[in-house]
Amino acid sequence: MSGISASGLKTQIRSYTEVSSTVLSDSVLENIILNAQYRIFRDIPIDADRKTATGNLTSGTNTLAVPAGALFIRGVQVYTATGSTFTGANAYLEKKDVTYLEEYISANTSTGTPKYYAMLDTGATGATSSTSGSIIMSPTPGSTFAYKLHYNAIPSILENDDTNYISMNFPNGLLYCCLAEAYAFLKGPMDMLQLYEGKYKEAVQLFAAEQIGRRRRDDYTDGTVRIPIQSPPQ
């Protein structure tokens, strides 16, 4: 299947389910499509939404604002250099729970090169497009170290008669996910829900493998899909 628009997806859902717009109204289908997209975003970190923010840490300040519109953090890379050129020794900070970091900070008050970070508030996992919270680091930066913050941005949502990355590059998976959501909404038949749930998971495997093939899994931190990929039989 080639790319599909929001209106085309609505037509497909009604056609596959053989349910008219009286039951599957535009507003109902818009919620189904939205839920399907959010599920896909959770199941597969989309490579096209990878971003990197750069800057310099503030000496004596152990917090850092997460870029607006960040969905989740992939990693925080800190350089020993203090200029705007990102060369020389650097290391990725190790992610910890915020309670661990608070205890570590209370026991280690000296400044230096950060080793750990944690999400300081829930917004740091991408609540809105205008604010994404902040992270906390330890040890507290002892200088204006250069940093790169790697993250996935909140993807564009398919609505009206638009297209987005998912609808153009993963249309089969989007349709199958929508059909699974639709049959759940319609409360049956269960075998059809299970059919499209299975088709969706198969499509996720293929799409994830394509991304991994391009990337060759060179993330420092875990960039795995949320649905395990099965190894081919030997």
Domain limits, the chain: 6-46+155-215, 49-153
Note whether 137 and 143 are within 8 A (CB).
no
Q: At residue 56, what are phi and psi to the nearest 5 degrees? A: -125, 135
Global confidence as pTM: 0.69
| Residue 112, φ and ψ in degrees, nearest 5 | 170, -150
Name the residue among 49, 74, 76 with its Cα closest to residue 154: 49
Look-up: residue for tokens 């990197």?
A: 52
pLDDT at position 176 is: 97
Write b or e for each residue in 173-183: b if 16 or more Cβ atoms lie within 10 A of its Cβ, otherwise e.
bbbbbbbbbbb
Dist CA 23 CA 26 (whole Å):
9
| Cα–Cα distance measured from residue 52 to residue 44, given in angstroms and rounded to the nearest whole number | 19
User: What is the rounded radius of gyration, in angstroms, for the C-alpha atoms of the chain?
Assistant: 21
Tokens of 184: 């759940």
Q: Strand 111-112 vs strand 94-95: parallel, antiparallel, or unpaired?
A: unpaired
Tens of pLDDT, residues 97-111: 888 888 888 887 889
The pair phi, psi for residue 161, each rounded to 5°, is: -115, 30
Specify the pLDDT at position 104.
84
Tell me, what's the pLDDT at 127?
47
Residues in the chain, pLDDT under 70: 1, 121-131, 212-234
